[in-house]
Amino acid sequence: MRPARFISLEGGEGVGKSTQLRALGAVFRARGMEVVETREPGGSPGAEAIRHMLLTGAADRWSARAEALLFAAARADHVEKTIRPALQRGAWVLSDRFLDSSRAYQGMGELTDEDILTLHRIGSAGFLPDRTFILMLPEGEAESRAHSRDGDGSDRIGGRDSAFHRRVSQSFARFAAIEADRVRPIDASGEAAAVTARLLRELEDLLP
Ligand SMILES: Nc1ncnc2c1ncn2[C@@H]1O[C@H](COP(=O)(O)OP(=O)(O)OP(=O)(O)O)[C@@H](O)[C@H]1O
Ligand SMILES: Cc1cn([C@H]2C[C@H](O)[C@@H](COP(=O)(O)O)O2)c(=O)[nH]c1=O
């Protein structure tokens, strides 16, 4: 019997992470697996409270350092209260964003990638997914998907300018290039079912 696994889906705004998370969850359940679908920031009562603080309010509500610490604190609670217990009872965990979002969004300005990894070592003992997928879409396509879902509304971080979001996407692509064992790029274009099939191909070696 193969062990339960922790999988994260990553990428910029509107690339299809939540859609694919639900699709993978449905496929796994149909195979008789117990699945926990979760998200960041959030995924436990404490982390959901922090999510509200992080994603609402004025753009300058938090300094870069406070923001990174809040994401790390939310993640520590999520790992401790939701992810580890689920894995221990044999459930697969699918998370919509995890550490790599902090590296891409908070680790390329005032703070470095090394700073974010240090916070993660302190908060969550460096706990990592077994596999991480970076959903990749051309900039215009992701923006138009997000716009048709949200209209002009977006949260405190999603509303940052396009130069910021371009740097985020470039950071995600770099993680896939330099951490190929864990982090796999996935072409997120085309029909949702085709994207799900690409993800499942990249999971064949882990699935029971
Ligand atoms: N393959 C696809 N083709 C066309 N539209 C899609 C596809 N996948 C998802 N969508 C639509 O694009 C929008 C964004 O998808 P989704 O919410 O899954 O993205 P996300 O990456 O989770 O976004 P965010 O990080 O901003 O929450 C939704 O309206 C969704 O229905
Ligand atoms: C985990 C995490 C998230 N973010 C940002 C990315 C998005 O703009 C929001 C989350 O919104 P979603 O619709 O649920 O994807 O938060 C971040 O900046 N850093 C992180 O670690």
Sign of the CA dihedral with 78 first, then 181, 203, and 205 last: negative
Q: What share of the chain is helix, strand, coil (3-state, %, to 5)?
A: 50, 10, 35
Asked if the model's pLDDT at residue 1 lies above 80, the reply is no
Which ligand 1 atom sits closest to the C-alpha of 194?
1
Residues with Cβ < 8 Å from 7, sequence gap 6 or more? 24, 92, 93, 94, 95, 129, 130, 131, 132, 133, 203
Helix (H, G, I), strand (E, B) or coil at 49: helix
Write the residue with the smallest CA distance to atom 18 of ligand 2. 105
The span from the CA of 188 to the CA of 190, in Å, is: 7
The mean pLDDT of the chain is: 96
Per-residue pLDDT tens over the stretch 43-73: 999 999 999 999 999 999 999 999 999 999 9
Ligand nearest to the CA of 123: 2
- In percent, how much of the chain has pLDDT > 70? 100
Write the residue with the smallest CA distance to atom 13 of ligand 2. 13
Output the known binding site for ATP: 11-18
Query: Residue 41 Cα, ligand 2 centroid: separation in angstroms?
Result: 6
Per-residue pLDDT tens over the stretch 182-194: 999 999 999 999 9
Query: Residue 106 Cα, ligand 2 centroid: separation in angstroms?
Result: 10
Helix (H, G, I), strand (E, B) or coil at 183: strand
Average pLDDT over residues 79-100: 98
Mutational pocket test of ligand 1: of 145, 172, 191, 195, the residue with most ligand atoms within 8 Å of the beta carbon: 145
Going along the chain from its start, the domains and CATH numbers come out as 6-201 (3.40.50.300)
Report CA-CA distances (Å) from 12 to 17, 25, 30, 123, 146: 9, 21, 29, 24, 10
The span from the CA of 117 to the CA of 85, in Å, is: 23
Contact 132, 100 (CB under 8 A): yes
